[in-house]
Structure 1
Amino acid sequence: MDAAKNVFYMNLGFPDKMSVPPTESDKSYLAGRGLSVKLSAISSVSAIWLNFAVGEYVELQFDGPPGSLVSWRQGFKVKDAVGGDNRTFIVPSEYLKRLAGRTATLKYVVTPVVGKPRTSGILTFEIRGLYLPALNVIEVVDDTIDLNKISSKGAVKYVTISVDYKDMRDGDQVRVIMEGLDEKQQAVTQSDLRPISSGNLSSNPNFRPMTFIWREEKIKVFNGGVDIYYQVYREGIWYNSIKRSLYVGSRLVGLAPFLQDDDHQNIVGPLDPDKVFGYVNVRIPFSGTLVNDKITMFWHDSSLQNRLTETLTVTPGNVDQDLNIEVYLDRTINSYRGKFVTVYYQIERTLPGGQNLRFNSPAYKFFVGTQQEQDAADSRVLKGAVVGGVKDGSMDVSLARTGTTLTVPFAETEEGDNVTAYWQLAEGGAPTVLGTQAVVAANVNNDLVFNISAATVNTALNKKATAYYVIERQGLDGKPRKFRSQEASFSVGPQLADLSLPAPEVPAVVDAVLNPMVALNGTKVVIRPSAAFAVGDTVRLFFSGTGGAGTPDIATQTVSSLSQALEFIITASAIGANMGSVVWVYYNVTRNGLARPIESQENLFKIERLGLDNFSAPVIAQAPGGVLDLAAVNTDIVIVLKAWLFMAAGQLVWLSLQGVAKDGSFLEINVWTAKPLTGTEAQQDLAITVARAEFDKLADGSEFEVFAKVSVDQDIEDLYAEEFPVLTVAIKSQVNPSGGGSTGGASGTGST
């Protein structure tokens, strides 16, 4: 509390010299940490007044002043706990730094099961210190430092770090810091300190922004990720900038694919089949690939029904070249004319430890046809053709012997039009041209009829087909334009194809979302009886999600009754591996006499994440009551992560400690970084040993936080990992206070 201004406050940064043990003023400096906020269920022990009760939802709200656009929220459902469900939240430091020199507010809102929400009182406080934006690394592309593409001068290769901040002044000292792990997973820290003088600040117009040179030999020490930031020293206080997390090495996926013609010239805009000589090249940038990577290219239209895939393997001979996949005009491109196409690729990589990772590239989207056709496709929709012998989406099977007709309604045609009719199998492939007719004065008021031969119909027997027509018409500008009709889709014969089987049902799914808490023992998938089934059919269910356990092999079932539903059980491990992801559930039917299985429609839904309420805070038994007495502990420190729901081998775990170093600076100790769980570890609580010497680095009498995360889908990026509640521990002071210390500042640990 600032008595002079009668206002609460906290300080960014950390003092150059701290008292031992730290004074209350020292504790008001966050040293780059987040702000610890404690919410207590019981506000008065004597009155037993409950701030919130079991079953209610509590949300902590941190906001900057109006117009700041700085806001942060986190909530929890209150559990039944001895002494009340008391929680500690950490407001991330990047939100605090954006409000340097301004005020912020904290409050919480309680939403009961029944009734109106309640709002706590508002705590207003100042955030004092410097706002230091993130630095810039000139050679970085997509947050990646590719050592093959950095700057060079003579034999020296390097990157340029650019630092600038508001109110840069004479006397400031700027220190750039790089932190990460080496190939042995040992912590590495590098730094470069430079002072600012009045001479270089005022007389050198090119001084701002400041530049630091980071040489290749120092960059190469880091294995994968590196955090880079800078500190500014002013008037006895060090201030930390916002951190940037970069990747050292070739990024798994950084660039979208692109198209080139047969002369290797880039294709910009629509893909015009009339200008294609045999094929086009789908180019996959080599910057994200490594030897032995498996690259799968996907090409599909907006319906996702027609899909082309091609797979390549990266070899020593092509690792430094863009990969090339030829897509042919007659076989593929023509069949997509008039449609929007999406192309992307997936990299599958096996790590040295045997772990498989999959990453999708950004998508490249384009229209197949001319620019005029694209404009027309955006605005012109023609009525569908009428196919003879089709009723309720099914064509009489006898027409496979006699043939049928396609009729274009005269209301859609004009004199001078050229109308071409097409027949195409739903499974893809080039369309069959049924013929072209010119619209003249004699037939402009008549429907156009095209014959569909028995041989053409027979190609779709026991399958699904579509029929449509394209009108070529001269525009007002004298240029021809093409208009495509809606497609008439139908099955041929009683054996229905892809889209004729209804999607499977997942009863536990509500509004396309599955709550994993209702699937702790797995979930049921139901396939209802269908007219498409026959006794003896073999039904195979597909649950398609993330790799490994997320896409399990499911035993087939045989249809024994046409009135009984089939039920499949999806295991809890498959549910857990897909939390936070979208899964596709579908099935196919294999029948004697059919060349290929019949596929159902897909059921797409998202599996929710567990959320903070379903994880226990880390536990340090050697720190009873949240206090760690290092003088009484001679062994290494053990941090326990309680087993969580859907815990499984292969999940990746992060564990780190954040606190204040003995010199008052921010200290982060990375214990586990994307560490995969073994089969044994996944069956029990995790007991993680941290060398006692690591804790000797922490300031006497200070607090530190324990952060833990887990990635259930084995994603090596922790951006979407599940977070554990934060554990806050105090280091017991080993020095008796001598008295007289200042207590003017508010503690960095606020409470509401």
Structure 2
Amino acid sequence: MDTPTPALNSNDLPPLQIMESFPGGLLNPHAVRHNITLRIDYEWAREDVVTIHCAETSGFGSYTSPPIPIGGFARPFQTHIDTRLVTFNLGHTVVFTYTVYRGTAEFVSQALALYVAPINLFDLPRPFIRQADNDGQGIELPVSDLDEFTLRINAWLLGAREQYFWLTANGTNADDTDFEASYWRAPVNVVDEDFQCYGFFEQNFPAAPLQALKNGSVLTLKFMAGLQGSDEPSLAQAFAHRNYIIRTGSAVTPRILSVRDRDGEVADGANTRYANVTLSGSASGELTVLDGTTPIGTASPVDGNWTHGAPGLNPGPHAFTVRLADGSGSPSSPRRINVVLSDLSLRIVEAPDDTRLDPLNALTSLTAELVYDHLPTDMVSVTVTAADGTPPAGSHTTTPVAAGNTRPIRITLPVSLVAFSVGKTMEVTFSYTRGGAAPVPSLPLRLNVLPIALERLVAPVITQANGDILDLKDIQSGANLEFGVWPLIAVSQRLSCDFAGESDTGPHNLRMWTATVNMVHRAWITNGRFGPNVSVDYLRLLKHGSKLVIRFRVNLDQATDPNTQTVFQTREYTINATP
């Protein structure tokens, strides 16, 4: 005899969760720049299939997922959807639901409504002209000595291939007429594979139109991008303007405008794998070229432009400047590069694929393995740098030690660093010092530190409960909530714990711990457990037959950011409140 399929209704299907959203139904585009994480949790049957729906209130920017056989997954179910959904709904309210297909029946969940905030202009780059002061970040743009100028835009939040972009420049000509030029426009200018790969787009243009501008006038760069993939300007996202003061007089201060190696332009502060580079720029007279405080030659401008080769550079950082040879005026702004040898090999033993680190593989050891043509007397050290926003304790540089005779060289790193980078990117480099020479750095190894497997994140339990039944008669002076330990537990990790229940009058919730106040203490780790008390006054108001859900989260990185919390399994009890 067939077992009938249990019926469902909307009350059985709570709203799904968007893990990157904020309390009160707000979704910040910056929080979903990498992922939109959906979580679904209800009492599903093995044959259940789910589709996820997102509808914008005006019917634009909607989404429906393919069918998902959810019954084969452990609870709660978690998945990701494309962040491009956000770009279609900036400044709009979206409603998420999911539909459960059980047998021939369909059941629609309760709705989750979120307001997708517009993009904050501080999260978007501004276009710039490389030849302006401070490599384009300053406020003055000398144009008299330019043959060309370079427009550049860096990659933006929620950027993707096939997004069109526009740039216009507005100013005032020397005869006080308006100047307007369109340099980038759809459909010619669109984000392509090179743009995505290098993280920027730049293009050279003749400088003559800018040289005809009024001295001291303002040149405004206006940039827009079609985040939705449309070539219609009215739908594009406007970025903040960039303003320059035009200077048309002869340059007084010499400038370094470019540093190039055999592969092309070396950005300010970037690495080069070559010992020979060529400097170029603008000046009004004979120059002295310096590497740090050491003169490395002279350069003679031709029509206001100069070049100088800098061969035989030692590995390590270099800061080039130029100044007029007669000593007058001010030196140029420094242009910095870092010469890095390409044959320095680095790996983390516990991350065999050199791209991902499973934290469960690094519970007892974290080992850097270095290979290069070393001398026993070389002094080597390893640096681990955590992602931006991580507390300083998540980064570390080892004390330099002699390389010795063993190949490869192995350096032990603190295991405690791993917890700070769970779910984030960890960057590892090493350097060696030979004699009195400057340190030679390696190229960085970037590791994605994976989240801890959910089965290792066990939910706390109420010790007076009998299985999944919590009889309130057994709670006399409060419930004992027992926590165990988890992989990479450490003192000062921040804690959040919430109870979600129901009283006779409606929702009955309790925020037991918040990350800004509560954290792991030494005794917890020493004893392997911690058992705080839950107020009996809260528990006695729970409705008979209702569900009590305990949600526990830990900031392994010791920060208080809700976006970096590790979410544990939930614990659910059925309340018995009979006398």
| TM-score, length basis structure 1 | 0.44
Change (3 A) 1:39 1:718: same
Change (3 A) 1:631 1:529: same
Task: Read off the aligned partner of 2:371 and give its amino acid letter.
Answer: R
Native 8 Å contact 1:37 1:90 kept in 2? no
Q: Note the alpha carbon deviations across 1:585-611, whole angstroms, 9 max, x for none.
A: 1122233322x3222211111110103
Cα drift, residue 373 of structure 1 = 14
Which residue pairs with 1:537 in the alignment? 378
Cα drift, residue 580 of structure 1 = 0.9
Which residue pairs with 2:30 in the alignment? none
Which residue pairs with 1:552 in the alignment? 396
Partner secondary structure for residue 648 of structure 1: coil
Task: Read off the aligned partner of 1:69 and give its amino acid letter.
Answer: Y
Structure scoring higher RCO (CA < 8 A, sep ≥ 6) equals 1
Cα drift, residue 635 of structure 1 = 1.9
2:417 to 562, 571, 574: 574
Identity %: 14
Unaligned runs of 5+ in 2: 18-38, 56-61, 80-93, 157-166, 172-179, 185-200, 206-257, 265-272, 281-285, 321-334
Q: Work out whether 1:378 is the aligned partner of 2:203.
A: yes
Cα drift, residue 700 of structure 1 = 1.9
Alignment map for 1:629-668 (pairs within 5 Å): 629-663=471-505, 665-668=506-509
Q: Work out whether 1:504 is the aligned partner of 2:504.
A: no
Structure 2: distance between partners of 1:726 and 1:681: 21
Q: Work out whether 1:37 is the aligned partner of 2:42.
A: yes
Task: Read off the aligned partner of 1:518 and give its amino acid letter.
Answer: N
2:76 to 85, 89, 92: 89
Cα drift, residue 538 of structure 1 = 1.2
Structure 2: distance between partners of 1:32 and 1:686: 31
Q: Work out whether 1:63 is the aligned partner of 2:46.
A: no
Partner secondary structure for residue 526 of structure 1: strand
Structure 1: distance between partners of 2:521 and 2:417: 17
Task: Read off the aligned partner of 1:658 and give its amino acid letter.
Answer: A
Cα drift, residue 272 of structure 1 = 6.0
Partner secondary structure for residue 719 of structure 1: helix
1:671 to 512, 515, 536: 512
Q: Work out whether 1:708 is the aligned partner of 2:549.
A: no
Native 8 Å contact 1:9 1:126 kept in 2? no
Cα drift, residue 435 of structure 1 = 4.2
Alignment map for 1:191-210 (pairs within 5 Å): none
Structure 2: distance between partners of 1:505 and 1:648: 26
Q: Work out whether 1:517 is the aligned partner of 2:360.
A: yes
Q: Note the alpha carbon deviations across 1:635-654, whole angstroms, 9 max, x for none.
A: 21111222100011121111
Native 8 Å contact 1:618 1:724 kept in 2? no
2:100 to 98, 102, 105: 105
Unaligned runs of 5+ in 1: 1-5, 13-27, 44-50, 52-59, 79-85, 108-120, 143-253, 260-267, 282-327, 345-365, 396-404, 409-419, 439-448, 468-486, 492-496, 736-752
Change (3 A) 1:622 1:393: same
Cα drift, residue 132 of structure 1 = 7.8
Q: Note the alpha carbon deviations across 1:676-735, whole angstroms, 9 max, x for none.
A: 212222442232321111111211221111111111112323233111111110111416
Change (3 A) 1:65 1:553: closer
Change (3 A) 1:464 1:553: closer
Partner secondary structure for residue 455 of structure 2: helix
Q: Note the alpha carbon deviations across 1:612-667, whole angstroms, 9 max, x for none.
A: 2221122111011211111232121111222100011121111111121221x122
Change (3 A) 1:672 1:422: farther
Q: Note the alpha carbon deviations across 1:508-564, whole angstroms, 9 max, x for none.
A: 32251111122121222111132xx33422111111113344223423220233x62
Native 8 Å contact 1:7 1:126 kept in 2? no
Task: Read off the aligned partner of 2:511 and give its amino acid letter.
Answer: N
Q: Note the alpha carbon deviations across 1:256-284, whole angstroms, 9 max, x for none.
A: 3999xxxxxxxx74246457899947xxx
Q: Work out whether 1:620 is the aligned partner of 2:462.
A: yes
Partner secondary structure for residue 500 of structure 2: strand
Which residue pairs with 2:106 in the alignment? 124
Structure 2: distance between partners of 1:277 and 1:565: 41
Task: Read off the aligned partner of 1:62 and give its amino acid letter.
Answer: V
Change (3 A) 1:279 1:613: closer
Which residue pairs with 1:602 in the alignment? 444
Structure 2: distance between partners of 1:567 and 1:123: 60
Cα drift, residue 11 of structure 1 = 3.5
Change (3 A) 1:338 1:566: farther
Cα drift, residue 432 of structure 1 = 8.1
Partner secondary structure for residue 122 of structure 2: coil
Native 8 Å contact 1:106 1:124 kept in 2? yes
Rg larger in 1 or in 2? 1
Native 8 Å contact 1:9 1:127 kept in 2? no
Native 8 Å contact 1:38 1:87 kept in 2? no
Which residue pairs with 1:11 in the alignment? 10
Structure 2: distance between partners of 1:608 and 1:690: 33
Which residue pairs with 1:195 in the alignment? none
Structure 1: distance between partners of 2:43 and 2:523: 35
Alignment map for 1:77-476 (pairs within 5 Å): 88-89=75-76, 98=95, 104-105=99-100, 124-127=106-109, 133=113, 256=122, 269-271=127-129, 273=131, 280=138, 377-378=202-203, 393=274, 434-437=299-302, 452=309, 460-461=313-314
Structure 2: distance between partners of 1:593 and 1:29: 68
Change (3 A) 1:407 1:567: closer
Structure 2: distance between partners of 1:583 and 1:9: 45
- Total equivalences in the alignment: 405
Q: Work out whether 1:692 is the aligned partner of 2:558.
A: no
Structure 2: distance between partners of 1:648 and 1:582: 20
Partner secondary structure for residue 128 of structure 2: coil
Structure 2: distance between partners of 1:450 and 1:525: 42
Change (3 A) 1:383 1:610: closer
Structure 2: distance between partners of 1:703 and 1:279: 57
1:680 to 523, 528, 553: 523
Task: Read off the aligned partner of 2:464 and give its amino acid letter.
Answer: Q
2:434 to 579, 583, 591: 591
Change (3 A) 1:430 1:342: farther
Q: Note the alpha carbon deviations across 1:33-80, whole angstroms, 9 max, x for none.
A: 99853468xx9xxxxxxx9xxxxxxxx8632479873559999999xx
Partner secondary structure for residue 256 of structure 1: helix
Structure 2: distance between partners of 1:104 and 1:339: 49
Partner secondary structure for residue 8 of structure 1: coil
Q: Note the alpha carbon deviations across 1:439-462, whole angstroms, 9 max, x for none.
A: xxxxxxxxxx9775xxx658x456
Partner secondary structure for residue 624 of structure 1: coil
Change (3 A) 1:77 1:551: farther
Native 8 Å contact 1:338 1:373 kept in 2? no
Native 8 Å contact 2:96 2:113 kept in 1? no
Structure 2: distance between partners of 1:685 and 1:434: 71
Change (3 A) 1:89 1:394: closer
Structure 1: distance between partners of 2:203 and 2:136: 27
Native 8 Å contact 1:501 1:601 kept in 2? no
Native 8 Å contact 1:522 1:569 kept in 2? yes
Native 8 Å contact 1:10 1:125 kept in 2? yes
Change (3 A) 1:585 1:64: closer
Structure 2: distance between partners of 1:645 and 1:587: 27
Structure 2: distance between partners of 1:428 and 1:709: 53
Partner secondary structure for residue 686 of structure 1: coil
Which residue pairs with 1:720 in the alignment? 564
